[in-house]
Structure 1
């Protein structure tokens, strides 16, 4: 039987566990983007130089390479191209190309949610500053301004003073691939927002998951996730409500099998809101941590799905302890000297260290996921233990710059 070929769009470090698991399955892995020095290309079997936002170019390359499956795992810009290629070549994907376009565009997604009666903030999309400024009175202030097509909190600004709106719009437009932004009412959350990976099988949500996503108020961008915790502290009734909302959304969109990254929150109006749904694994190694914490493998499931291979059973997650994805970052700029973790703390609580920087690298303030220094996977027996540790991280992790 010929070796199956899997195309992975992108070349970031997040793809390394996908490549590793694919190789264990005997799969030939092709990584594709326009940056040949990206780290994932050093571990794949073949590199294809193509812009992953050019869906027709990706399709031509995929046909030439005779691929059997395609993923854009944790790589937001490649999702619509992956859906497009899969649809044109008759390959498995989470959803149709049309559904992927809706999910990947924050403005289209808000419109879809509103039209179908989901809980949804008042929102509107724009392609230029002038049109947006004319709608100042449309929103309930404060507002949040975002690119419609970026991930990792890049280009996102909360605006309280209307005088600052113009600058926020310009920031969002500059961070957008398509030069489109969205303005929406800022939803005042209760407790922690959730960001987690979920999994559907034949359109049914079989693996719902929720986390506590926390932020560093002292970071250069206080809306960039800094800590993620499983299981979530969200009340079960809201988790059940969100699971039902997601299932209704997936039914409306006619989705199939695969992984999705979902952001959600409970707000001060007593309602649970789906904020974002993307047909891909999340960044910050979310699927890796969830796999480690639950003993299931979303990554293997996603690879097998993409290649049309029989999947292992995937069921609702049960967590072995309390887990934390701690995003290493700096509030200052400088040259990295070292990152040191207290040996006793490391031995007791650290399950994985994923540094993406080395001494001498230039470090910039934490404005988005692309400014992180790496991740630590931490495991505790209780939430109280975890909360005590993350309340004073300076006592166990030391980032030295010069």
Structure 2
């Protein structure tokens, strides 16, 4: 087994599995995150408290070391740094430049979709707020306003009134590194997430989840369910669309995650893409539903080793539910966790907060409290277990101001 270093950019809940798998595969783990108390910090052999967006600073701190691979699961913002550090250390796997750009620039990805002649909804993007507002005047409301280069729904707002557009643009700019903002028409339909692993330019593994979102204005993922209710014909069409995007971006090998909407017009619309493992616990869901370890596969590929993507033939019905709060405050107690874990169809319960820690309303994906994974034989039995688990688990929060209830 190798004793070389594995650099993991980010140390949040969706990067933690890479720390665990990297060590299991025999690597020395170097973690990077700007938060000194990030969940993965204590799991690293060496931890750098730096932003993941400055590869030169990271390389200076590390110096001349042997690096087998660089990865950053679930983080679009770090993909340019993954590419830069991979070049700097001469790792076996080098990310495709266009795939990196599509991950970090939503406007560019939408232009790729348009170039391929795939279904598109109208959108505009610009760094000038006034120019953006003028360009958006021809779009149909509701409108979705978001930073072009952020992930996890940071700065995203859905507006139904033109009077609210300037405020939404201002909010999005606060969460953008480049100042580039995307304004796009809202598409009504069913939301899906596609977790794909490419091999030699073709999707070797494709997992489609039904995605449930919080209501407007934030519209953040709150659950993923597999298998998704899609006909064979729609699945085949989606597979062809994914293959076309991979080819256009030159992404021949490795993970990629896409958000898709099946519109009321029966068209499939790509929303955004990340050339990395998906966030919101997607690798955990893949493991419980299909028995595939996409985290280990991504690390092996990044280090120049053959990925292993063996799956179960018939998955159970599996849901990953994100646990959230609706108030700002401090956790004062957690009860019922052991009882939830003992329920027959509960596959896993992970809590990312403990008493004494601050929590925030679920206005971006980074504010989650934990993951609950339920695996059952039918959707009906899954829903019964989910309901029982959510009423059994009690996370007490002392609000900053007026008392409010915690919702899971």
TM-score, length of structure 1 as denominator length: 0.91
Q: Look up the match of 2:37.
A: 37
Which of the numbers 230, 233, 237 marks the counterpart of 1:237?
Answer: 233
Q: Which segment drifts farther, 220-229 or 66-75?
A: 220-229
Q: Look up the match of 1:198.
A: 196
CA deviations 1:261-286 (Å, max 9, x no partner) are 22112001210112222111122221
Q: Look up the match of 2:54.
A: 54
Cα offset, 1:8, TM superposition: 0.7
Which of the numbers 277, 283, 305 marks the counterpart of 2:301?
Answer: 305
Cα offset, 1:49, TM superposition: 4.3
1:170-209 → structure 2 map (5 Å cutoff): 170-189=170-189, 191=190, 193-209=191-207
Q: Look up the match of 2:405.
A: none
Maintained 8 Å contact 2:141/2:186? yes
Maintained 8 Å contact 2:211/2:224? yes
Q: Look up the match of 1:321.
A: 316
Q: Look up the match of 2:135.
A: 135
Is 1:274 the equivalent of 2:270?
yes
Cα offset, 1:344, TM superposition: 6.8
Cα offset, 1:337, TM superposition: 2.9
Q: Helix, strand or coil: the match of 1:370?
A: helix
Maintained 8 Å contact 1:326/1:377? yes
Q: Look up the match of 1:336.
A: 331
Alpha carbons of structure 1 residues 113 and 316: separation in structure 2 relative to 1, 3 Å: farther
Q: Which segment drifts farther, 261-270 or 130-139?
A: 130-139
Maintained 8 Å contact 1:123/1:182? yes
CA distance in 2, matches of 1:2, 1:363: 39
Alpha carbons of structure 1 residues 344 and 165: separation in structure 2 relative to 1, 3 Å: closer
1:4-19 → structure 2 map (5 Å cutoff): 4-19=4-19
Q: Look up the match of 2:406.
A: none
Q: Which segment drifts farther, 29-38 or 203-212?
A: 29-38
CA deviations 1:149-193 (Å, max 9, x no partner) are 11111111111111110011011111112221100111111x3x1
Alpha carbons of structure 1 residues 199 and 29: separation in structure 2 relative to 1, 3 Å: same
Q: Which segment drifts farther, 34-43 or 125-134?
A: 34-43
Q: Look up the match of 1:291.
A: 287
CA distance in 2, matches of 1:383, 1:79: 36
1:245-256 → structure 2 map (5 Å cutoff): 245-256=241-252
CA distance in 2, matches of 1:281, 1:375: 17
Alpha carbons of structure 1 residues 99 and 61: separation in structure 2 relative to 1, 3 Å: farther
Maintained 8 Å contact 2:102/2:273? no
Maintained 8 Å contact 1:5/1:66? yes
Maintained 8 Å contact 1:157/1:168? yes
Cα offset, 1:335, TM superposition: 2.8
TM-score, length of structure 2 as denominator length: 0.90
Q: Which segment drifts farther, 54-63 or 13-22?
A: 54-63
Q: Look up the match of 2:104.
A: 104
CA distance in 2, matches of 1:101, 1:157: 23
Q: Look up the match of 1:401.
A: 397
Maintained 8 Å contact 1:23/1:29? yes
CA distance in 2, matches of 1:33, 1:196: 27
Tell me how many residue pairs correspond in the alignment: 397
Structure 2: gaps (5+ residues): 399-408
Cα offset, 1:143, TM superposition: 1.2
Alpha carbons of structure 1 residues 40 and 24: separation in structure 2 relative to 1, 3 Å: same
CA distance in 2, matches of 1:285, 1:210: 14
CA RMSD of aligned residues (A): 2.4
Q: Look up the match of 1:85.
A: 85
Cα offset, 1:345, TM superposition: 7.7
Cα offset, 1:93, TM superposition: 4.0
Maintained 8 Å contact 1:353/1:375? yes
CA distance in 1, matches of 2:95, 2:183: 27
CA distance in 1, matches of 2:379, 2:218: 23
CA distance in 1, matches of 2:201, 2:79: 18
CA deviations 1:50-79 (Å, max 9, x no partner) are 432123334555662231211011223211
Q: Helix, strand or coil: the match of 2:146?
A: strand
CA deviations 1:246-299 (Å, max 9, x no partner) are 101111222122111221120012101122221111222211221122112111
CA distance in 1, matches of 2:147, 2:195: 22
Q: Helix, strand or coil: the match of 2:85?
A: helix
Is 1:375 the equivalent of 2:371?
yes
